[in-house]
């Protein structure tokens, strides 16, 4: 086979109102492609809880903000949602952001950007969700929570909820340039000519 045709859905607005459609489209593609691992970005945990319901029977990894991201020593994942995720067998990953961490400390202290944040700004050209799916793939890779040399489904959003879903081959932060996107299932594109 020399070509494969897949449909990408473009949303006219970014944000949480796309969550249900994003999860449904992602489930459909995961089933069609035989993908069994799902990465989902989550802040307070509501998106991951809903993803755990939609992806029952899959390996689901909920990737949270790092503790201290919003405020020192604060974890944004609520205890209620953490407990719900644990009950359903979802792996919860809380770790340093692949495109933040020490580089962000340098920016805050010295007022200059480091490579990680430049990469983040570059990926945001395709939307906030695209930056986040790449980031959580690296974080899950570093934590050993994704299969080796197998594609996974990665879901993220703009602010809250989910509006971006892709199929990719994850890797580790130290091998970032081996990260491989293979399919965009959906993403916001409010400036698309069709809108």
Pairwise CA distance, residues 172 & 164, whole Å:
21
pLDDT in tens, 31-65: 999 999 999 999 999 999 999 999 999 999 999 99
Q: Which CATH class is domain 33-97+128-188?
A: alpha beta
Using alpha carbons, select from 190, 161, 167 the residue that is nearest to residue 180: 167
Per-residue model confidence (pLDDT) at position 104: 85
Q: Is pTM beyond 0.75 here?
A: yes
Domain-wise residue ranges, the chain: 33-97+128-188
pLDDT in tens, 142-189: 999 999 899 999 999 998 999 999 999 999 999 999 999 999 999 999
pLDDT in tens, 77-102: 999 999 999 999 999 999 999 998 88
The residues near 83 (Cβ < 8 Å, ≥ 6 apart) are none
């Amino acid at each position: 086979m020399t070509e494969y045709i897949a449909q990408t859905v473009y949303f006219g607005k970014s944000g949480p109102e796309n969550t249900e459609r994003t999860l449904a489209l992602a489930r459909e593609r995961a089933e069609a492609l035989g993908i069994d691992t799902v990465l989902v970005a989550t802040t307070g945990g509501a998106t991951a809880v809903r993803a755990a319901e939609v992806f029952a029977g899959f390996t689901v990894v909920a990737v949270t903000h790092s503790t201290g991201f919003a405020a020192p020593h604060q974890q944004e994942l609520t205890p209620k949602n953490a407990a719900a995720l644990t009950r359903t067998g979802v792996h919860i990953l809380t770790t340093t952001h692949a495109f933040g961490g020490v580089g962000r400390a340098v920016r805050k202290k010295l007022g200059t950007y480091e490579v990680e944040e430049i990469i983040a700004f570059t990926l945001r050209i395709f939307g906030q969700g695209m930056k986040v799916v790449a980031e959580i793939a690296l974080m899950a890779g570093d934590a050993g929570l994704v299969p080796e040399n197998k594609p996974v489904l990665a879901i993220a959003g703009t602010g809250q909820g989910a509006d971006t879903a892709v199929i990719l081959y994850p890797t580790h932060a130290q091998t970032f340039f081996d990260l491989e996107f293979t399919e965009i299932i959906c993403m916001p594109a409010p400036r698309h000519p069709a809108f």
